[in-house]
Amino acid sequence: MADVPKTMPGVLIEENGGVEVLKWKTDLPVPELKEGEVLVKNELIGVNYIDTYFRTGLYKAPLPLVTGKEAAGTVAALGPALSGSDLKVGDRVGYLHDHAYAAYTAVPAAKVLRLPEGITTAQAAASLLQGLTALTFVREAAGLHAGGGAGATLGVGQGPWTLVHAAAGGVGLQLVQMLAASGARVIGTAGSADKCELARRHGAQWVVNSREDGLAAKVLEITGGHGADVVFDGVGKATFEADLQMIARKGTLISFGNASGPVPPVDILRLGPKNIKLMRPVLFNYLVTRDEIEKYSKELFDLIMTGKVEVRVHDTYPLKEVARAHSDLEGRKTTGKLLLKL
Ligand code: NDP
């Protein structure tokens, strides 16, 4: 750790609350490496909606907390007993792990990905969490694969009816592109005409402005009364009731977020009239083993390198101005990915 300083800049949360609790510090201790860990010098840090949940306390973590779940940069030091890894100091890497809102983060080597030459550091920081969420949810939760679902050979846009809420957002834009590439018929919802247009350009063949009334009726009209076979809902509380109305018989409702607040407890009997499959998946529980992490990150990077998936960066904020990034994200002012730079 010869060139690594003892202290570093970063953002600390000492109490839960609004964006004002995100405190810029210049003298946080650089983490001491434990067995099997790697110290990553973060160049670009991804902002994700989950960061706001840890800030507000919707999701619990011990305080004080350096939050942040992903970043990309370079290996700064290797910890003791680092066996089974060929990582070297200076390697360009990305990772999904806690405590990313700082100059350095200690990451278990098993979670560190060396970046292929065709992937920029910005593409990695902007795609890992949201892209892998979209990819694992399309493949594992919805069971849709490239060229069609469940082994079927489908033409583009001839597959199942899928609906993506917040389709111009970080996860949403990745979902619409991956679903379109899998041959699904994709309906996107978004909160403005510009956002709808963005979702359309990325693969949503139909778009509905979610700020207007009658969302479920519009989706039923688009699908000729059939409804959506798969609904991807990261908005949560505000859209759950509409989901139950517009989902098709035997449809799969993948509820995976709380942008508008958490979905209240559900009476399981409400699933019966349409035999709905209701899921609440979490990315990190699809990426548990090293094989899973490597398999899906390779597929994601291949999709990006072959141009099938574009990673769109809304803005890159100085880490010091992270409060502005959180305000923009929670204020529905953003599309695609928000990055933080040191
Ligand atoms: P987004 O970029 O999608 O931002 C959230 C979007 O939600 C907004 O841009 C807005 O789009 C929409 N929205 C609708 N209603 C509200 C509201 N009341 N307040 C705020 N936003 C609203 O964020 P992310 O891509 O980072 O995350 C999307 C969702 O996915 C989040 O709920 C997140 O927690 C979840 N997620 C879950 C994971 C899991 O493992 N379960 C993993 C990753 C993300 P519009 O204006 O177009 O409606």
pLDDT per position as a tens digit, 66-83: 999 999 999 999 999 787
Domain coordinates of the chain in residue numbers?
7-115+312-341, 131-283
Topology of domain 131-283, CATH: Rossmann fold (3.40.50)
Q: Given the structure tokens 């490496």, which residue do they identify?
A: 33
Tokens representing residue 69 in the block: 């779940």
Task: Decide: 208 in ligand 1 pocket, CB within 6 A.
Answer: no
* pLDDT at res. 82: 81
The CATH topology of domain 7-115+312-341 is Quinone Oxidoreductase; Chain A, domain 1 (3.90.180)
Q: Is 234 in the pocket of ligand 1 (CB under 6 A)?
A: yes
Counting atoms of ligand 1 from 1, which one is nearest the CA of 53?
34
Determine whether the shortest distance from the Cβ of 257 to ligand 1 is under 6 A: yes
Distance separating the N- and C-terminal Cα atoms of the chain: 20
Task: Return the ligand 1 atom nearest residue 284 CA.
Answer: 40
User: pLDDT tens digit string along 4-50?
Assistant: 999 999 999 999 999 999 999 999 999 999 999 999 999 999 999 99
Quick one: pLDDT at residue 164?
98
For the chain, which ranges sit under pLDDT 50?
Answer: 149-155
pLDDT, residue 292, reads 98
Whether residue 136 has its Cβ less than 6 Å from ligand 1: no
Q: Quick check: CB of 188 below 6 Å from ligand 1?
A: no
Ligand 1 atom showing the smallest separation from residue 210 Cα: 48
Q: Please check whether residue 203 is in contact with residue 179, taking contact to mean a CB–CB distance below 8 angstroms.
A: yes
* ipTM reported for the complex, 2 dp: 0.99
Ligand 1 atom 34: residue of nearest CA: 257
- Give the C-alpha separation, 208 to 328, whole Å: 22
Rounded Cα–Cα distance for residues 95 and 310 (Å)? 19
Residue 262 Cα, ligand 1 centroid: separation in angstroms? 12
| Contact residues for 298 (Cβ-Cβ < 8 A; gap 6+) | none
